[in-house]
Amino acid sequence: MVVQPYVFTRGETVSVALENMDGAEVTDFAAGLKRRDSPFADPKGAVLAYMTAEARQSLGDGLGGGWLLSLTPAQSLALTPGFYALDARLTIGEFVEITDTVTIQIKAGVMESAR
């Protein structure tokens, strides 16, 4: 199954829902973006932006509880147009789990720097 990238315009809020499928108690959470050369290329380099994670009882659209991962408009404006890999590192008890990687595409926009 090919998953299409989440597409956002530079300068807008970037939000991605991450569902807690099994209701596990997560004690530590971090999510970040690394650059990709294409939608399915391996991530490369350092983490360029860390996403905030807001816990939610329901993520809407039939999803259960989890987290709404987001970048502020200023953070997305700081990214160059292109593809980015996103995954999250969750600590559950004594174990660490890293989510499947998804692709975020940041595109240039006409109003990206307007105020």
- Sketch out the chain's domains with CATH numbers: 6-107 (2.60.40.10)
Q: How confident is the model at residue 23 (pLDDT cuts 50, 70, 90)?
A: confident
| Res 35 pLDDT > 60 | yes
pTM: 0.85
Q: DSSP 3-state helix, strand, coil percentages of the chain (rounded to 5)?
A: 5, 55, 45
* CA dist., res. 109 & res. 13, Å (int): 13
CA angle 10, 31, 44 (to 5 degrees): 70
Structure tokens at 113: 């720097």
Mean pLDDT (the chain) is 86
pLDDT tens digits along 37-48: 999 899 999 999
